[in-house]
Amino acid sequence: MKHANDIVVTGIGAITSIGNTREAFWENLIAGRSGADTIHAFNPAGFGSTIACEVKDFNPQDLMDKRRAKRMARFSQLAVCTALAAWEDAGLDLEKEDPARIASLVSSGAGDYEHIEIQHQTLLDKGPLKGHPLVVPKIIPNMAAGNVAIELGIHGPCFGAVSACATGAHTLALGAQLLQLNKADVIVAGGAESTITPLAVDAYACMKVLSTRNHEPQRASRPFDADRDGFVIGEGSAVLILERRDRAQKRGARIYATLAGTGMTADAHSIAAPDTEGRWAAEAMKTAMREAGLNPEDVDYINAHGTSTRANDSTETKAIKSALGDSARKTPVSSTKSMIGHTLGAAGALEAAATVLALYNGVLPPTINLENPDPECDLDYIPNEARSVKIRAALSNSFGFGGQNGVLAFRAE
């Protein structure tokens, strides 16, 4: 049942390794195209993992002033360009809005590694007081939200959540709560990440969580497959525009879907490994369903966290079974990370965008490279081919280092 105070999605922007617009992102998702390739951002020779899902042909100056763009790190550039696209998609006009009632909640899990590495080397090579004066406002994660607010000219709440790979999901959940508390009328919410740098890639490789299938990048990310050996690091951004239903309808906005429920829990188990039974990930799913008024049999699709690591995929399978019970085996699940890689702090937002577009278009994106199913991962993962199915409700799962779990429940219009 629709209510006037429902939180609805009225705009979507996305920049990813498989497309720099919402339309291209969606077209390539459902076509099962991979964005993985050998790293171009730096020379990866000698690194344990030499592959990534990099954004291609991105020129922030196409959408913003050249001087402004140069003062931002790449993750902020991605955030701003994606927010501008989402704003346009929502049909919003700042002259008709109260800028103090529009919030910028665009987050990054890591911020900017590139300039940390460059400026540290400068310090070592040249000594103190030789660095760039803007390095601090470039590197701090909250600058995605700050730069979006500056570019749009909005003055409502402005901050970013930082919760590792659950960052994007938590940010959208917080945005919905601001609307429910009547702290804003419009929320510009999402995540942006760009950490394909020597330090970041090597750090993840040292943790043994990156795929080393370097000779075939496009087949390296293979969630739920028995031959998976780690994730492929990615970059990108997604921003969703959130409003209350009554307001969106009053201005004649297109409504993609309803953000009907959120679930947030902590494993309190490990700084990196998930709880082996997936108990608290399951609890986050249950909470999101309960808040959305959904029974397990009402969930027609789950966009999984699905990283392509040994631990995550088997644990998430357990969590889904625990949360959905007998309905788990009837519920299609897929991992869009199989195509766009793991975009870290942007993942929850990008996967929320994919989930909303699946609801809106009635097509479920596949899990590509699922060729040899893992016996421990025995659900319906929509292998290799998109599926046209009219769905009523869906979950988007995001689970981060530190045991930080975020789940979003969406309903179709």
CB 106 within 8 A of CB 144: yes
CA dihedral 227, 231, 235, 241 (to 10 degrees): 90
| Token pair recorded at residue 387 | 């599926």
Residue 243, φ and ψ in degrees, nearest 5: -145, 165
pLDDT reported for residue 4: 79
| 363-364/387-388 β-pairing | antiparallel
pLDDT reported for residue 280: 98
Residue with tokens 């689970």, as numbered in its chain: 399
Task: Respond yes or no: is residue 165 known to be catalytic.
Answer: yes
**Three-class SS of residue 376?**
coil
CA dihedral 381, 360, 99, 14 (to 10 degrees): 50
Which phi-psi region, left, alpha or beta, contains residue 180 (left: φ > 0; alpha: ψ -120 to 50)?
alpha
Which one-letter DSSP state was computed for residue 277? T
pLDDT in tens, 326-356: 999 999 999 999 999 999 999 999 999 999 9
pLDDT reported for residue 2: 85
Please indicate, yes or no, whether the overall pTM of this predicted structure exceeds 0.85: yes
pLDDT reported for residue 26: 98
Query: In percent, how much of the chain has pLDDT > 70?
Result: 100
> What domains does the chain contain, in order, with CATH numbers?
8-250 (3.40.47.10), 261-412 (3.40.47.10)
* Residue 1: pLDDT over 80: no
Q: What whole-number distance in Å separates Cα of residue 133 and Cα of residue 163?
A: 28
Question: What rounded mean pLDDT belongs to the chain?
Answer: 97
pLDDT in tens, 30-84: 999 999 999 999 999 999 999 999 999 999 999 999 999 999 999 999 999 999 9
Cβ of 313: how many Cβ atoms within 10 Å?
A: 23
Which of the following is catalytic: 53, 81, 158, 165? Answer: 165
Residue with tokens 């987050």, as numbered in its chain: 107
How far are the Cα atoms of 11, 106, 215, 236 from residue 193, in angstroms, in the given order?
Answer: 20, 10, 25, 6
| 51-53/36-38 β-pairing | antiparallel
pLDDT reported for residue 3: 86
- Cβ partners under 8 Å of residue 45, min gap 6: none
Q: What whole-number distance in Å separates Cα of residue 186 and Cα of residue 99?
A: 9
Q: How confident is the model over 364-384, as a mean pLDDT?
A: 98
